[in-house]
Amino acid sequence: MTLLFDTQFLFVRALKKLVRNPILIFFSLFQPIIFLVLFTQLFSKFSQVPGLFPSGITYLEFATPGILMQNAFSSALQSGTSIVEDLNSGFLQKMLVTQVSRPAILIGRLATDAFRVTVQSAIILGLAYLLGFNMATGIAGILLTLFIIAFFGFAWSGISLTLGLRTKSAETVFGIGAFLTFPLLFISTALVPGSAMPTWMQDVSSVNPISFATTAVRDLALPNAFSLSAEVTSLAVIALIALVTMSVTVYLFRKVVS
């Protein structure tokens, strides 16, 4: 019961902190919205190239799942900056001298990140609908999409938290996050089909976690594209990433709290 209460308290605290710093939310949403509004218009004629996209699919419909995953990926890589702030401000040290549940400190942080990514994704999805996007699998597909995005963000938050706990430098966390975002995004099927890439990019894309997650969402979005095996494979890959990243995060967190 203490774990649940403490997690709820820290979750609410982190949300209040976000609300009081709306500039962070703005910049988190700014990039994916630019991709959604401008890139889908700029590359709209790509869908007219014979054999490049499924028949009748617009570039907006193809790219929206990738933009959603890009938002989840880049937002998750910001998680470490918050833990660094708590370390440098002394808040974490103050929490450790109280009776608060130690796991709740980490769980509350992760729950906040997953919630933020879900809300941001809902905003982006709503804007995509205004531009003409449609989820072929309906409400069930939207809910499953938000779950996949939150799960993906949770898995990648572990990398950022690991960097934050290890380096205790917000600048380092931000720099490495920015360094990882664009190479992994562009060498994936988030914005272009694999057939349009050079051979070496196709090879990298085939093992890129963003490609797996994007495929899961895209199969829910496009007509007659749903594949249970693809969904299971994508979720398994995300779960494996989560297991690895969270194991390292928990190990480092235990060292900090001890």
The tokens of 218 are what? 């895209």
**Is the pLDDT assigned to residue 28 strictly greater than 90?**
no
Sign for the CA dihedral angle at 57, 60, 61, 66 comes to positive
**Is the pLDDT assigned to residue 114 strictly greater than 60?**
yes
With contact defined as beta carbons under 8 Å apart, do 66 and 214 qualify? yes
d(CA 165, CA 118): 24
What pLDDT does 24 receive? 66
Among 95-99, 213-217, 226-230, the range of highest mean pLDDT: 213-217
Among 1-15, 108-122, 141-155, 156-170, the range of highest mean pLDDT: 141-155
The whole domain housing 230 covers: 2-257
With contact defined as beta carbons under 8 Å apart, do 84 and 169 qualify? yes
What is the domain count for the chain? Answer: 1
Sign for the CA dihedral angle at 175, 180, 183, 188 comes to negative
Q: Number of helices and strands (H, E) in the chain?
A: 12, 0
